[in-house]
Homo-oligomer: A and B are copies of this chain.
Amino acid sequence: MTKTSSGFGGGEVVSSLCTADRTSITVRGKDYCRDIIGGMSLSGFIFFHLTGREASEAEAKMLDALIISIAEHGLSPTALAARITYAAAPDALQGAVAAGILGAGPVLLGSADETAALLAEGVAMIEAGTSREDAARQLAKRVKAEGGKLAGFGHPLHKPDDPRTVRLLELAEQYGVTGPHTAFLADLSAAANKVWGRDLVVNVQAAIGAISTDMGLPPFLSRAIPILARAIGVLGHVAEEAERPIGINAVMTVYREARYDPPSE
């Protein structure tokens, strides 16, 4: 609730995003129908709409790669949640997509923003005079001491490298969009390997957090990338589900394997 003297709200409703009249639509100061529709690529528009700044061609291509990289990974939790929901409620496609993206949280799919925040913290320490190595070691030790998982590190399948991370970092170099956050990710990786005493995979979320922050996305909006990506990914699953349904079979597979453990008296 806004805090005003009257106690109960009262601030005005103001937005810089869009205004429209009978014959035109203006989005962030541009003529939507003339300059944006047909004038921007989809990633170009996403970047523009999320940051207010027009993407360079390299930035738009990088965003293409970032979103695509995390759109599809088979029968993932989000894909299953969406397929199950579509099987149960096929007339509400939007509900299946919503169920799919609701799993883009911190544990499995939404750690890009957490990594981005950690990298931003490290970059700020470096700018304030700490050496890169020290900044990385301090952050890694703190996370370990707090008993936490290092956001963006580790993967249950991909070893020793997440091939998407490798590819994204290569593209970022090629497109010339790297900056201090991507650079610091390497420092953090080296420090983490020492602190944890074993090699931790730098997963795709870390690459997304680092590169998107270097391109100017606020860290908390890094999670927009897996969210959009999974909206796309689960639509692919729903398209397949509509032709060859397996959502209920999947549930039945679980059902058959599950063991009932009666509560103790």
Contact A236/B50 with A74-B18, A75-B255 known, Cβ cut-off 8 Å = yes
Query: A103 and B107 in contact (CB under 8 A), knowing A17-B72, A73-B20, A74-B17?
Result: no
Docked-complex contact A257 and B253, CB < 8 angstroms: yes
Whether the Cβ atoms of A16 and B262 lie closer than 8 Å is yes
Residues of B within 8 A of A103 (CB): 84-85, 88-89, 94, 99
Which of the 9-residue segments A41-49, A117-125, A137-145, A178-186 touches chain B?
Answer: A41-49
Q: Chain A, interface size: which category?
A: 35 or more
Cross-chain pairs A/B with CB under 8 angstroms, 8 sampled? A1-B156, A8-B157, A28-B263, A33-B166, A38-B171, A42-B67, A87-B108, A253-B254
Please tell me if the beta carbons of A92 and B90 are within 8 angstroms of each other in the complex. no
Given the complex of chains A and B, what is the CA–CA distance between A51 and B97 in angstroms? 17
Docked CA distance A110–B107 (Å) = 20
Which A residues are closer than 8 A to B by beta carbons? 1-2, 7-29, 32-34, 36-38, 40-43, 45-46, 49-52, 61, 63-65, 67-69, 71-78, 80-81, 84-85, 87-99, 101-110, 113, 155-159, 161, 163-164, 166-168, 170-171, 218, 220-221, 223-224, 227-228, 231-233, 235-237, 239-240, 242, 244-263, 265
Instruction: Tell me how far the C-beta of A19 lies from the nearest C-beta in chain B, rounded to whole angstroms.
Output: 4
With contact pairs A232-B228, A262-B16 given, residues A89 and B72 touching in the complex (Cβ less than 8 Å): no
A103 to B250, CA, bound (A): 15
Query: In the complex the two chains form, is A158's CB within 8 Å of B23's CB?
Result: yes
Which residues of chain B have C-beta atoms less than 8 A from A246's C-beta? 11-15, 258
Which of A15, A43, A255: most chain B Cβ within 10 A? A15
Let me know if B254 and A13 touch, CB within 8 A: yes
A260 contacts B19, C-beta separation under 8 Å: yes
The residue on B at minimum CB distance from A9 is B252
Query: Do residues B20 and A232 form an inter-chain contact, with CB atoms below 8 A?
Result: no
